[in-house]
Chains A and B, each alone.
Chain A
Amino acid sequence: MSSYITEEKIGELEIKANEARQLLIEMLTTAGSGHTAGPLGMADIFTALYFYILNHDPKNPNLPDRDWLILSNGHITPIRYVSMAQAGYFPVEELKTLRKFGSRLQGHPERERLPGVETTSGPLGSGLGQAAGIAYAMRMDKKKNRVYCIMSDGEHDAGNTWESIMFAGKYRLNNLVGIIDRNNIQIDGMTEDIMPLESLRAKYESFNWHVLEVDGHNLEQFVDATEEAKTIYEKPTVIIAHTIPGKGIKEIEFDYRWHGNPPGKGPDDVWPKGEQAKKMLDELRTLGGKIRSEHQ
């Protein structure tokens, strides 16, 4: 039983996260391109960040003492856009412009186009360094706010990531929290086949980080981990969040083929392409058939 979040609040966040997944499927279907598996897997964590953990103000994205959220693996930005829209940074309707010409919702996020996007990202391996730079600068100014950096597991193939891990460890950036979306897939297959990362925990520990591992779909565990990180004063903390790619739609869970495809363009061995979006939305609205949808 967490002392940091009530069961009632967890229930609210779970409803929010389900709504986020529905908005995500709708926006990706409209866009006709984009990533499905990763964003679905991170819906719970983004919901927890935007609706419980972060100190931020959708009406004042440059709030001086805000917490900073750096998204290193920019390709999962659709779920960040959804959380931002739900939180009130921009109208939910605007989600339909994802990846379209003239949209503020670029395929990979751009700082100068959309207020609230803290940094431009997409090329992997360069987010943690930026987050560490922000954390270092905050400490120089004796600020108490915090920096969260979301990374994919796949981008731990990149040398820049490890340079930044080493840097943050050396300078004991205790205001920095890394969050790894440990879903075990990357574009070409399973991470442990492409370029083995394990033991991630031991690697981070040897670089002078405090390591926590959570079920990335258990909001209570995740909130508790971010609170524990605040008590660690001599090191940066990384939360290895074990997630299920495609979470919430059991037919596509764990399937790396859904990494880079939107509904309507995914593998058709479960559903024909034309029915993919509808089937996914039905499943989310009925919580996998447990309840009746108002759409039925």
Chain B
Amino acid sequence: MLNKNAHLVENLFDKAKVEMAPTRQGYGKGLVEAGEKDKRVVVLCADLTESTMSHWFKEKFPDRFVEIGVAEQNMATVASGMANYGKIPFISSYAAFSPGRNNEQIRTTIALNNVPVKIAGAHAGISVGPDGATHQQLEDIALMRVQPNMVVLVPCDALEAQKATVAAAFNGKPTYIRLGREKSPVFTTKDTPFEIGKAEVFREGKDVAIVGCGILLHNVLVAAEELSKEGIECMVINSHTVDPIDEKTIIEAAKKTGAIVSVEEHQINGGLGSAVAEVLSRNYPVPQEYIGVANRFGESGEHLELIESFGMGIGSIKEAAKRVLRRKALTP
């Protein structure tokens, strides 16, 4: 059953009633909120001001907005200098280009240099849709989470994206925020807890624990509800912080359920599922199944069509839960 302390919306499973908004919209609102709180906050953008929803900040704080042009490498280095000097810079682009193109600049001048630049990668995942594989960034979590000093946040809806943006502004660390293009259900509320590094249990269950991040978490909750009708009780964990991952919550979930499914709109290799497996193999190994993109690039298509055909839909999540339960049954 749903965890009351997570304060999710009431009409969670009613498609007609649940509000829809893209996570990048939450980022745009979060920038304004952070900007109002602290005048050190500055926003840099690489010719994608409206699609990253940085334009609200630009309109409100024109003196603290810097247009960089199509130059993501320069954007990373300019932001590094500003952060070094004492500003709190957010750099906005598509994840395909930042951190896709400017990875070395992020590594050397932000992560190793250890200056608090906030990197917002919009249009991440396959759900950017018709643009095709070049723009469907599926490796960004892996790229960012292997870098020492880097915090990696993957918000599950627009409201959480807003909270993550404000929290990132004040965590004092290099931070990556992953955002999606398409509208997705807004199923958390202002009362839903959000703390960097602390995973949230959205649903209690004893049979299998599904650990997810990003907008697919709504699919996870729907799958868990349907599995419940079949007598399978799933715990659902929102691991919005992929790095540093909340080891304690994941180990407790493995101990309680003995079976894990990881869910992310990202390559299976190197993403959240890998992070979960690294924790469990060291501490409490249990069978794990992975929902994600299986070592291939994306392609053009509609958002939901791609999610289904790449095996990240509700049906695929249910099947993965059943698979891992069969493996659990074979475990001595």
Q: Which positions in A face B, CB cutoff 8 Å?
A: 68, 70, 110-112, 118-123, 125-138, 140, 159-160, 163-164, 166-167
Q: A122-B108, A130-B109, A167-B71 are in contact. Are A140 and B78 (CB under 8 A)?
A: no
- In the bound complex, what is the Cα–Cα distance between A138 and B82 (angstroms)? 9
Whether B80 and A133, one on each chain, are in contact in the complex, defined by CB atoms closer than 8 angstroms, is yes
B262 within 8 Å of A by Cβ? no
Whether B66 and A111, one on each chain, are in contact in the complex, defined by CB atoms closer than 8 angstroms, is no
Q: Which positions in B face A, CB cutoff 8 Å?
A: 42, 63-64, 66, 68-69, 71, 73-74, 76-87, 89, 104-105, 108-109, 112-114
- In the bound complex, what is the Cα–Cα distance between A137 and B66 (angstroms)? 11
* Among A111, A132, A133, A138, contact of B114 (Cβ-Cβ < 8 Å): A111
List 16 extra interface pairs beyond A118-B84, A130-B77, A130-B84, CB under 8 A: A110-B112, A119-B109, A121-B108, A121-B109, A126-B105, A126-B108, A129-B73, A131-B81, A132-B77, A133-B78, A133-B81, A133-B83, A133-B84, A137-B85, A163-B73, A166-B69
A-B contact pairs, 10 of them (CB 8 A): A119-B84, A119-B113, A126-B73, A126-B105, A129-B76, A129-B81, A130-B77, A131-B81, A137-B82, A166-B71
- In the bound complex, what is the Cα–Cα distance between A138 and B81 (angstroms)? 10
Whether B78 and A167, one on each chain, are in contact in the complex, defined by CB atoms closer than 8 angstroms, is yes
Whether A136 and B109, one on each chain, are in contact in the complex, defined by CB atoms closer than 8 angstroms, is no
* Among B64, B69, B108, B109, contact of A140 (Cβ-Cβ < 8 Å): B64
Whether B84 and A126, one on each chain, are in contact in the complex, defined by CB atoms closer than 8 angstroms, is no
* Among A70, A120, A134, A166, contact of B112 (Cβ-Cβ < 8 Å): A120
Contacts of B80 in A (CB 8 A): 119, 126, 129-130, 133
Q: How many A-B residue pairs have CB under 8 A?
A: 102
Contacts of B77 in A (CB 8 A): 126-130, 132-133, 160, 164
Query: In the complex, which residue of chain A has the Cβ closest to the Cβ of B107?
Result: A123
- In the bound complex, what is the Cα–Cα distance between A72 and B104 (angstroms)? 14
Contacts of A121 in B (CB 8 A): 108-109
- In the bound complex, what is the Cα–Cα distance between A129 and B102 (angstroms)? 13
B294 to chain A, nearest CB (A): 33
Whether A163 and B74, one on each chain, are in contact in the complex, defined by CB atoms closer than 8 angstroms, is yes
Whether A164 and B64, one on each chain, are in contact in the complex, defined by CB atoms closer than 8 angstroms, is no
Q: A159-B73, A160-B74, A163-B71 are in contact. Are A137 and B86 (CB under 8 A)?
A: yes
Whether A130 and B81, one on each chain, are in contact in the complex, defined by CB atoms closer than 8 angstroms, is yes
Whether B85 and A133, one on each chain, are in contact in the complex, defined by CB atoms closer than 8 angstroms, is yes
Whether B85 and A123, one on each chain, are in contact in the complex, defined by CB atoms closer than 8 angstroms, is no
Query: In the complex, which residue of chain A has the Cβ closest to the Cβ of B109?
Result: A126
Whether A112 and B109, one on each chain, are in contact in the complex, defined by CB atoms closer than 8 angstroms, is no
